[in-house]
A and B are shown apart, each in its own frame.
Chain A
Amino acid sequence: MSSIRRVVVTGIGAITPLGKTAPAYWEGLRSGTSGAAPITRFNAEKFKTRFACEVKDYNMTDYFDRKQGPKMDMFTQFGVIASDEAIADAGLLAEGGNIDKDRVGVIWGSGIGGLRSLQEECFQFERGDGTPRYSPFFIPRMIADSASGNISIKNGFRGPNFVTTSACASSNDAIIAAFNNIRLGLADVVVTGGSEAAITESGVGGFNALKAMSERNDDPASASRPYDKDRDGFVLGEGAGAIILEEYEHAKARGAKIYCEMIGGGMSSDAYHITAPDPSGSGVVLVMRNALRDAGIQPEDVDYINTHGTSTPLGDGAEIKAIETVFGEAAKKLNISSTKSMTGHLLGGAGGVEAVACILAMQHNIVPPTINLHTPDPEINQELNFTPNVAQEREVNVAMSNTFGFGGHNTSVIFRKLAE
């Protein structure tokens, strides 16, 4: 693999339930804050779940003008906001930067796309007399690829451009596709990550029907509790995470700040059930092995795993069993945490914000915690270090981030501190 081009991270951005910039997000993670609260985006009075992890105090007009903003669904707005932060952080458009925009791609992830826009247009048609009065912006607002389209239009990036959709694995698939495009020489820089904004009637109602979401309405902040015996489902989140992946020599030549190197990506499928995880965890074993092989490292080289860990009864246990299988004795030396305990589950945006969490964990040598872990589940091996409730200081040289999606999609990405 040595002849393949190396890929580094040169910028990050995030808009999350814990804060609307990457530094604010990190402060929330480090301090173990829950982003969950009663739903404000619609009247959830009659819903089984009446809370979620919303991006707090979000005003479209803080970021977009009155004409452009409403032409984008909220998931696209989040994507543009997070990618703007990452692009500025990387200095990609700095004056005199002289970037060849034909060699800059945008590969984004979204599991659902513009659910809110779809829902609003359908509601409106239903309320009318049958005369079709659909907005000409309805389709471009709804389609999932409008996120990567808008990010490229705003910045003039003319390289590879598409959106990956694999439910909650979407962002990691985007990051892996970005990594491969750079490794193969198809682009020098790719803006990647993902976003979601599905806290709507149809989003909450749909996930409730699947019995996938926590219904702990009396205490939202403690509802997302991966690995805890009393977990009862995931908490829906929203937002976006963006990273700038860049070919190593390209980044060095322009004197870019380098956070870390991306060294591997793995993908696999459960081939088992459309929504349930395979309890044997075999697809998850396969994906982590694929990622480690791609990275050319051994299990004992990994310091931290940011797990998928959504706080569902079945999924959490299967992933941990898979970690024990892949890592053996080394599993006990790992730090493991599910930051979904704080952010909720951003679905197709999860891999984006969790990659940012891994990158910042390496930068600060601090592992963000799994909060709400008070009653360990006896079915889950508690000899492992789940980084319960409080962040832990630790030299993090290598971090792995797992995300899995409905459909049986498994993805795993690996970052490492830059070694010359």
Chain B
Amino acid sequence: MLLLQANTTALFNAVDLQLIAPELILTLCGCVALVMEVVLPYRKSKLTAYFSLIGIALAALSLGVQWWYTDLPVTGFYGMVRIDGFAIVFKAIFLIAASLAIAISTRYLDIEGEQHGEYYALVLFATVGMMFLGCGYDLILLYISLELMALTFYVLVAFTKREKRSNEAAMKYFLLGAFSSGVLLYGMSLLYGVAGSTNLGEIGQEVGRVFGSIAADPASDLAKLRPMLLLGMIALAAGLFFKIAAVPFHMWAPDAYEGAPTSVTAFLSTGSKAASFALYARILFEALPSMRADWAPLLGLVAAITIMVGNWAAVTQENSKRLLAYSSISNAGYLLLGLVAGNSYGYTGLMIYLLVYTLMNMGAFGIIISLRRRGIIGDNVDDLTGLAQKAPAMAAMMGIFMLSLGGLPMTGGFIGKYFLFGGLLERGRTDGKSWYYWLAGWAIINTVVSFYYYVRFIRVMYLGDRVADDQPLSLSPALQTALVASLVGIIAIGVYPQPLIKIVQKLVAP
């Protein structure tokens, strides 16, 4: 409606463009990267990677400018885009994920013989999609951004086109992803049907009004809308369960993660997951806050099952990519706890844990990539055997990444989990419901299971005298930088999280 009125003057103005400056920069760089691929000879296509990194740095810079010089929150494009602390934090996470993903990719693509500029362009486009998911405030924009991200990922998963597993994984991912997008869209259309608007804020008001009058008079006509809203909410939730790989919609994840090129797996398991959580949080907290009593138990139940299934299934895995896929399923469960809690602690926990999770998962996949070389896949847990003797620094890093994934104190993982569990306890107190306590207890007991398989990596690296092979690791300066950056981030957040907590709490303060 607003859009039509606007047509008479101008569709947008320059101020609006500033709001999406980071995305514009990335889009531009992505287009240039596509051209560079055509112009540059094959052996120089790595230049595209460095160019993309510069693009990300510029986008980060403009994001920083936005954060520093704008009075948050601002909306633009007639309410479609909303820049607030939430958007800034998530965009920062996406940019970190994208830069790490590119840094760990260059060497890997060399080994695979698939060093093409399109790869980096696709990564950039996926990041653009994610970033719009962070700041989108309108169902249409959110859906389009989600599809932009998903479509680029379908291609990325299939990027090693000579590899059978990669193609198979992409096919599975594509079919299930398309299906889940349909479900999601159906939920969105139901919401639109009730609220008559695609703007999240307006939907929130309308749904709040409906529930308010139902509460005042259970027999009112509006009560008939409740089943429709419930169906819409469940469809939305289900669609997003697919995207974050929560049980029972998690089956695609292990296959896709195992088959995809390792660098893509890393990006998929961090960036895409974080973006889906951004979308989730936006819809639940902006459009459906008044349905909390309905969605909180649903999410809580799914989180409890997801944590259990992910952890127990990971215990028996031999392939480290598959193992980390199950670990990422269980981590989706832990992240859901932040949404279930939905208070300041839960919110902070969600964001810090997503950031830390990005760092540690990127680090872990980076180590796995460094084991990859021609002829050796390097993605079995046993391929790490004796790494402590062969490359002590790498082994120590991998050990810390694993302990952090489990949530050992003095690593970032602990701080994230601390906030997530704290949020649940706090919510249990304020709502006076005991199931939050049981959920927290259940989740925390399951972390012990997760330690069993994370420690398995440490066991094979340290607790043996056998060394898998004595060939040198395939490292590149970019990969090493990415690993060290992840490590420093995890330790810094673990030992002195104060600055990060302060920023996050200030930005997401309700």
Do the two shown chains form a genuine complex with each other? no
